[in-house]
Amino acid sequence: MSEESNMTQPVMIAAFDGWNDACQAATNVIRHLVGHYESREIGHIDCDGFYDYQVARPMLCHVSGRANLVWPQTTFYDITLDAGRHLYAQIAPEPNYHWKEYCSQSLRIAEELDVTKVITLGSMFSDCPHTRPLPIAVSDGECQCECDREYNGPVGIPTILDWSAADAGFEHTSMWVSIPQYLGSDDCAAGTIRLLDALGKHIGYTFDVSALKRRSEQWKTQASALVRCNDQLREYVEHLEREYDLKQRAEEEAGLGTPQCEQLVRETEAFLRQMGGE
């Protein structure tokens, strides 16, 4: 699809709390957009029947001295990016039951909004260094489960919604960012920025991420401090950096011809033998 088409046709993005949302990087995309741009709630999916309340528990909140009970729910937003330009967003905890029916209801709402494309967002823990751009995988037009076409294993609700959108005739894209697994579950603004950048390129729009950049730099600073204090972790991160750099170089040199590729293969094999002997 051309960039001009991406800019004019209604798009719905979707992200879900839980297993598909390492460090809340995916759902924080929608929270950032809702908080930064003019937005309004335009719909919900009734939570009854989709959630186990011992897993996704209702929350008791006090506002202006009054107690309110907040149940898990799916919320749809209309987000205005600029004059005449908007996108729709879906955010929810990952449902526990009846995924097929849940996706059917989601796509019925998308149809009512005249949406032509569904973009699912996810984040996952992975072996990657915080000192490099966080890896991001974008699958456009065919389902690429959990970021890997060779993947065999369990999937989450973003993948099911992606497949359901394809079956219903929607254009569909999935975007997944990888988060360093050694840093725990604190919010990762760097991952949210990576997803926003990928989403912006896809729809032909530049999102304002200035509010996230300070938090991203703070995340990197804290991660570097943690690594400096642990020799074993430092060696592990250095190993991840070498793997990352080799992969990047391989991608850059793949089109340069056979001699360069053969040299890279030899260097990679030597590196792997060295790591195996440690």
In a domain, 215, yes or no: no
Task: Identify residue 49 by its one-letter amino acid code.
Answer: G
Residue 219 falls inside a structural domain: no
Task: Tell me which H or E stretch contains 163.
Answer: helix 157-167
Residues of the domain holding 267: 230-277
pLDDT at 275: 60
- Backbone dihedral region for residue 171 (phi beyond 0: left; psi -120 to 50: alpha; all else: beta): beta
Share of the chain above pLDDT 70, in %: 85
Dihedral angle, C-alpha 113, 22, 18, 12, nearest 10 °: 0
Q: Indicate whether 199 and 241 sit together in one domain.
A: no
* 56 in a structural domain: yes
> Does residue 269 share a domain with residue 134?
no
Q: Are residues 195 and 156 in the same domain?
A: yes
For residue range 250-264, list pLDDT tens digits in order.
877 776 655 666 666
**72 and 169 part of one domain:** yes
14 and 144 part of one domain: yes
Residue 236 and residue 101 in one domain: no
Mean pLDDT along residues 68-88: 91
What CATH number has the domain bearing residue 41?
A: 3.40.50.10900
User: What percentage of the chain has pLDDT greater than the value 90?
Assistant: 68
Instruction: Based on the fold, state whether residues 7 and 108 are members of the same structural domain.
Output: yes
Q: How many CA atoms lie within 13 Å of 201's alpha carbon, on the beta-carbon side?
A: 10
Same domain, 55 and 118: yes
Instruction: Give 148-181 pLDDT, tens digit per residue.
Output: 556 688 899 999 999 999 999 999 999 999 999 9
pTM of the model: 0.84
Contact (Cβ atoms closer than 8 angstroms) between residue 117 and residue 95: no
Question: Do residue 132 and residue 267 come from a single domain?
Answer: no
**Domain identity same for 160 and 46:** yes
Residues 195 and 121 in one domain: yes
Residue 246 lies in a domain: yes
Q: Are residues 158 and 126 in the same domain?
A: yes
Asked if residue 177 belongs to a domain, the reply is yes
Is position 220 within any domain?
Answer: no
**Is 92 inside a domain boundary?**
yes
Measured between alpha carbons, how far is 166 from 160 in angstroms, rounded to an integer? 10
pLDDT band of residue 89 (cuts 50, 70, 90) is very high
Residue 217, domain member (yes or no): no
Q: Total structural domains in the chain?
A: 2
Cβ atoms of 16 and 56 closer than 8 Å? no
